[in-house]
């Protein structure tokens, strides 16, 4: 039958995917320096095989047959999702001229390399023509895949399906309006750097803290493992094998703790997708904003509360005796220190929002207003002053800090902040349904929260679009107000 043929093809694609994913995992976590190229060559070989199969006329015809209503309606939800998205993606993909793909990939590879050099050399001018090329190629690509559609909406849709600039304009605008006065109030709050950073914390003990925190929030070690890498990330093979990495700093144990909680949040999502979806395209969440909402819920909404740490802080001090004279209040104050700074990835939970709004406004300038690459550093600096009240001393701590644009990932940044905004709504709904979050956490009942997220969000994998999740879980429209309410309650209280 068509369904059997489909399942067979999906299984083959999944085998290639698993091997490629493992090769990548190895390249980030284990491979010795001289072995890297061999792994990269095998990734290229297997990716080519997988690509040939995924884009074959035969497979496209099979998907077409499966789209016929009589066939389609007999499929289960996971297979319906697979057929619909693969058919749609292939239909778009097949509109792209072969020579364009070649031009795009080559430009991308050069652009990434030049961006690295430019960042190291603090010199935007050498990167400008390549950034402009990526902008132009991105417009061209959208003109093939989605003719007559607004380019920026097409880009947003890639990362957060169903999202439109009109919606983002509204929620980001609301958030900006609320945050600027809040930041004004917090900006000059005195803060003494904690004595925490004056000590040295052995890495193998920090690893034990990571293990403790992951277990605490609900990471399942029977279906996951950990490793070290340059930058922390999460990678999933299936709900049965989800891996997180971390990076440990000798004098700063907090950094790895929060990376563990953040990546753990991503992993808990993937580990709790309905087993019935395994092997389908819906078996993990493909929406960046929704995925990020879960990592940030653990990292910020839960992880920055005093009540989150109450049940585990003493255990952590046993593992890190260097911290034993740091009272919980000093630790909690340190992890909630709000202050404008230049680098997005190091920002606190309040100013982080403004870092994303900055990038969103610049992407709007490019794709809505036609701004050119060489106008962007000036725009970046002006907007940083407007939003954060500070101006970068050079492009490395300004427009060159993130790699996303260098490889054409325009439209990705907003999804990070959408995650935080969704979290405001999830928090409000959860509090209505479960009661006060601090009570739950301080009683050591964090599993109640994890189970709520599992049953409301995680189990569906990709089956529900983000907007649908918000509607079904929260029964209220998308808005930045719940996030603002969370910030106001938390930081006005701190100030009082």
Question: Helix (H, G, I), strand (E, B), or coil: what is residue 246?
Answer: strand
Angstrom distance (rounded) from CA 355 to CA 343: 8
Nearest-CA neighbor of 482 among 425, 413, 407?
425
**Residue 263 is among the residues annotated as catalytic for this protein:** yes
Structure tokens at 2: 């068509």
According to the binding rule CB under 8 A, does residue 212 interact with a copy of itself? no
Cα–Cα dist 415/175, whole Å: 15
Question: In this structure, are residues 276 and 76 in contact, taking their beta carbons and an 8 Å threshold?
Answer: yes
Measured from the CB atom, the residue of 34 and 496 that comes closer to a copy of itself is 34
Among 223, 267, 427, 473, binds a copy of itself (CB under 8 A): 223
| Binding of residue 222 to a copy of itself (CB under 8 A) | yes
**In this structure, are residues 290 and 466 in contact, taking their beta carbons and an 8 Å threshold?**
yes
By CB under 8 A, residue 241 contacts a copy of itself: yes
The answer to whether the CB of 55 falls within 8 A of the CB of 46 is no
The CA radius of gyration of the chain, in Å to the nearest whole number, is 23
**Which of 37/125 has CB closer to a copy of itself?**
37
Among residues 20 and 151, whose Cβ is nearest to a copy of itself?
20
Does position 200 interact with a copy of itself (CB under 8 A)? The reply is: no
Tell me: does residue 321 bind a copy of itself (CB under 8 A): no
For position 42 contacting a copy of itself by CB under 8 A, the verdict is yes
Q: Which of 91, 93, 143, 240 is close enough to bind a copy of itself by CB under 8 A?
A: 240
Q: Minimum Å distance from CB 96 to a copy of itself?
A: 27
DSSP letter string over 317-364? HHH-GGGTTS-HHHHHHHTT-----S-GGG--TTHHHHHHHHHHHHHH
Which of 156, 108, 102 minimizes the C-alpha distance to 131? 108
Main-chain dihedrals φ then ψ at residue 465, nearest 5 degrees? -65, 155
Question: Binding to a copy of itself by residue 7, rule CB under 8 A?
Answer: no
The answer to whether residue 26 forms part of the interface with a copy of itself (CB under 8 A) is yes
If one asks whether residue 237 binds a copy of itself (CB under 8 A), the answer comes out as yes
How many chain residues bind a copy of itself (CB under 8 A)?
Answer: 31
Say whether residue 41 binds a copy of itself (CB under 8 A). yes
Choose the binding region for a copy of itself from 28-36, 365-373, 429-437, 452-460 (rule: CB under 8 A): 28-36
Distances (CA, A) of 450 to 168, 239, 294, 302: 28, 16, 10, 11
| Residue 31 binds to a copy of itself (criterion: CB under 8 A) | yes
Stretch that binds a copy of itself, among 81-89, 182-190, 220-228, 470-478 (CB under 8 A): 220-228
- Binding residues vs a copy of itself (CB under 8 A): 12, 15, 18-19, 22-23, 26, 30-35, 37-39, 41-42, 45-46, 204, 221-225, 227, 237-238, 240-241
Annotated active-site positions, please?
Answer: 263
């Amino acid at each position: 039958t068509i369904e059997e043929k489909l399942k067979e093809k999906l299984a083959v694609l999944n085998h290639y995917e698993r091997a490629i994913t493992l090769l990548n995992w190895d390249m980030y976590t284990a491979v010795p320096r001289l072995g890297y190229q061999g792994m990269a060559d095998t990734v290229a070989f297997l990716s080519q095989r997988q690509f040939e199969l995924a884009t074959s006329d035969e497979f496209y015809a099979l998907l077409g047959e499966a789209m016929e209503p009589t066939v389609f309606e007999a499929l289960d939800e996971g297979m319906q999702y697979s057929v619909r998205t693969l058919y749609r993606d292939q239909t778009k993909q097949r509109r792209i001229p072969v020579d364009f793909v070649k031009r795009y990939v080559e430009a991308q590879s050069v652009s990434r390399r030049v961006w690295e050099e430019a960042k190291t050399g603090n010199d935007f001018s050498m990167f400008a023509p390549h950034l402009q090329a990526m902008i132009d190629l991105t417009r061209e690509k959208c003109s093939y895949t989605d003719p007559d559609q607004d380019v920026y909406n097409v880009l947003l849709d890639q990362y957060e399906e169903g999202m439109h600039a009109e919606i983002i304009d509204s929620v980001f605008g609301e958030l900006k309006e609320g945050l600027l006065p809040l930041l004004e109030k917090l900006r000059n709050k005195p803060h003494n750097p904690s004595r925490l950073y004056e000590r040295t914390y052995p890495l193998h003990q920090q690893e034990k803290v990571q293990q403790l925190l992951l277990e605490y929030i609900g990471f399942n070690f029977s279906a996951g493992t950990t490793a070290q890498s340059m930058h922390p990330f999460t990678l999933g093979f299936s709900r049965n094998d989800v891996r997180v990495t971390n990076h440990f700093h000798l004098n700063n144990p907090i950094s790895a703790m929060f990376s563990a909680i953040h990546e753990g949040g991503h992993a808990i999502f993937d580990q709790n997708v309905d087993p019935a979806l395994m092997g389908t395209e819906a078996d993990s969440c493909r929406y960046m904003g929704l995925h990020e909402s879960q990592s940030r819920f653990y990292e910020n909404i839960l992880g920055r509360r005093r009540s989150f740490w109450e049940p585990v802080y003493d255990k952590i001090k046993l593992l890190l005796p260097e911290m034993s004279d740091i009272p919980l209040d000093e630790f909690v104050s340190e992890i909630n220190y709000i202050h404008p700074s230049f680098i997005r990835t190091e920002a606190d939970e309040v100013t982080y929002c403004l870092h994303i709004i900055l990038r969103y406004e610049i992407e709007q300038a490019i794709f809505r207003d036609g701004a050119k690459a060489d106008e962007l550093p000036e725009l970046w600096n002006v907007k940083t002053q407007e939003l954060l009240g500070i101006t970068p001393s050079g492009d490395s701590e300004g427009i060159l800090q993130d790699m996303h644009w260098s490889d054409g990932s325009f439209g990705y940044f907003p999804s990070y902040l959408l995650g935080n905004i969704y979290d405001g709504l999830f928090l409000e709904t959860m509090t209505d349904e479960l009661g006060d979050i601090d009570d739950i956490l301080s009683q050591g009942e964090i599993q109640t929260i994890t189970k709520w997220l599992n049953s409301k969000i995680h189990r569906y994998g990709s089956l529900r679009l983000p907007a649908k999740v918000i509607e079904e879980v929260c029964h209220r429209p998308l808005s930045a107000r719940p996030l603002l309410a969370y910030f106001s309650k938390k930081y006005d209280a701190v100030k009082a």
